[in-house]
Copies of this chain bind each other. A is one copy, B any other.
């Protein structure tokens, strides 16, 4: 019995459901949204109570999370990633303030750990022993890691293009990995069939409505780390749509319980080669599938499964959309590395690439206060980083050769 949760409601047809642990989608095919009793939460949860808490993980926000009181924290330390204020970069970009939230420092190196920890908590409430998902990679590795730590078995479906780093994580975490020769769509469909057949707990983020609730903790943290001072914009990369939907849910929760007094605008950053959601916002038409034509594999999602919630989030927030090329993404990776010491994977830095582009286009006011979420670690996809970063100076260990090379390259130490 979750006293603070009212139930789940379909975002498409409005039908309501009881919040049982193994909720999936609505009969109409729509995605469910967890609804809270905010009046109850307001009575039982204060900023002061939170400030006293020493649990620096996503579970510090239990009053806003759809789990039973008796459900234990999941074992890996997920959440409370650092939020860095980046003064030099803000100045370089010509905005008032910039904060970078490095969610690549989660246990399996991406924001998806927040959703997977939630999946593990709910699977344990459901009495399941197996959890399954399909994913472009990060949802998969985060599920494999979080589930392994908690003693669950996992079956994981990835498209065969997934970078080797992510696959290595899955195998090391002991998952049974099915690599599907085909698109993300093919991968998703096979996983769905297998989950139905064997009754595994479903960690597909666009099916299981609890997962956005895990992801929303990134918003709760940002606001607590900013001392509840609301920024003007929060930028994030968008693929399936679940992450930006989760981000928005967290912000709305905080607004509903009075922890913040206004809402920021979202910046939805997609790759030019795969931007079905941004295109829908920009044209005002329904979203249509697109090719998956970008090196930012984690957001190469031509058929976004959580389009409804994502589009609603961007629209409700009065959000901005921005589409960036692969070159712009990799430039942002270097920029974050050089200026901030943060190494993000291509999809991870796409939000920052979007901020940079909006600045160049003059679409952000010069006093704008912006948070940019880096959603995954650059070590997940080293091949692309190396491709765009160039090569080191390679020489035998002789000073005269070093001097020659410095001279040739115009380096003056």
Contact = CB atoms under 8 A, between A and B. Distances in A.
Interface string A378-411: 1110110110011111111111001001000001
A168, A385, A386 — most chain B CB neighbours (10 Å): A168
A200 B182 CA distance: 52
A258 interface: no
B75 A399 contact: no
A267 interface: no
A190 interface: yes
A294 interface: no
A164 B394 CA distance: 13
Tell me the number of copies of this protein.
Answer: 2
Interface of A: 56, 75-77, 82, 84, 88, 102, 105, 107-109, 130, 144-151, 155, 158, 160, 164-165, 167-174, 176-182, 186-187, 189-190, 193-194, 197-198, 200, 333-334, 337-343, 377-380, 382-383, 385-386, 389-399, 402, 405, 411, 413
Nearest 3 A/B pairs, CB to CB: A149-B341, A172-B337, A174-B338
27 contacts: A76-B84, A88-B151, A105-B105, A109-B377, A146-B341, A148-B337, A148-B340, A165-B165, A168-B389, A169-B343, A169-B379, A171-B389, A171-B390, A171-B391, A171-B392, A172-B333, A172-B334, A172-B343, A173-B341, A173-B343, A174-B334, A174-B337, A181-B394, A181-B395, A189-B397, A194-B399, A197-B399
Given A165-B165, A168-B386, A198-B413, 7 more contacts: A56-B56, A146-B341, A170-B392, A173-B341, A174-B338, A180-B397, A190-B397
